[in-house]
Structures are given as structure tokens and as C-alpha cells.
Amino acid sequence: MRASKPYQPELLKRLRAPRLAAEYLNAALEEDDPKLFLLALRNVAEVHGGLGQLAEKAKLNRESLYRMLSDRGNPEWQSLDMLLQALGFRLTVAVQPRSAKPRQRRSMRSTVASRPLAGARPT
């Protein structure tokens, strides 16, 4: 049996492509789970220069960015928008198919990332 590759390095390698990173973030949004979206955002940020460089590019305080994307993160709309723009992305609205069932609302306040970003400082 062939040995499997570690998942995280392969994922990060693929996320270097902007189109794949956008699809990854959209898939995380479709799950309607804020903690999953913040984890996806941290993964994308890691391959685009890391959180320190991203904070500078987004004109956000580095410590605030670490907190925003931490396991207790609760980003404000403006900060999230600035972060996505710095990564080269934007949020859009789409019509939901009629057959889709209404989703239960989840708050960003309940956001807890499943694992820390490699190299990220604990908050």
C-alpha cells in the first residue's frame, strides 16, 4: 500500500492558486460555520505571506489580526472586508436555490478554530 501524503502541506500548496483559494473559502462559507471559515481564512493567509505580512497589507494591527483569526475570533465586518481585499478577494451575494432548506443561524461569537495555524502565536 502506498503511503499517504500529509494533508496540510498539500492543501497549502494548492491554496497558492487564487482561484482554488477562492473556491476553498466559498466552500467554507457554504458550511455556515464561522469557525470553519476563519480556519480556512487562516490557511489562505498562511500561503499568501503569513499573518504578519497580511496585517501590514490590510492596514490592520498585527495583534488584532491574530485575535480576529484566533480560536475566539469575532471579526468585525470592516476588518474582514479589509482582510479579504488584501488577499485579493471580496464577498458577494448569490441567489439561493429554491430547493435549499433555510439554515440555522450561527454567530461569529461562537467561533472556535479547530486547530492553530502553524507558526501562529497563541493569543
Query: Are the beta carbons of 76 and 12 closer than 8 angstroms?
Result: no
C-alpha cell at 81: 472586508
C-alpha cell at 7: 494533508
d(CA 111, CA 34): 6
Given this model, what pLDDT does residue 105 score? 57
pTM tops 0.75, yes or no:
no
State the average pLDDT for the chain: 82
Q: Which amino acid is at 59?
A: K
User: What pLDDT digit, counting tens, does each position of 1-15 carry?
Assistant: 677 778 888 999 999
pLDDT above 50: residue 66 = yes
End-to-end CA distance of the chain: 41
93 Cβ neighbours under 8 A, 6+ residues apart: none
pLDDT above 50: residue 113 = no
User: What pLDDT digit, counting tens, does each position of 99-108 carry?
Assistant: 766 666 555 5
User: What pLDDT digit, counting tens, does each position of 32-65 carry?
Assistant: 899 999 999 999 999 998 999 999 999 999 999 9
Question: In this structure, which long-range contacts are made by residues 22-28, counting pairs with CB atoms below 8 Å and at least 24 apart in sequence?
Answer: 22/89, 25/89
Reported as a pLDDT band with limits 50, 70 and 90, residue 18 is very high
pLDDT above 70: residue 88 = yes
pLDDT top residue among 22 and 32: 22
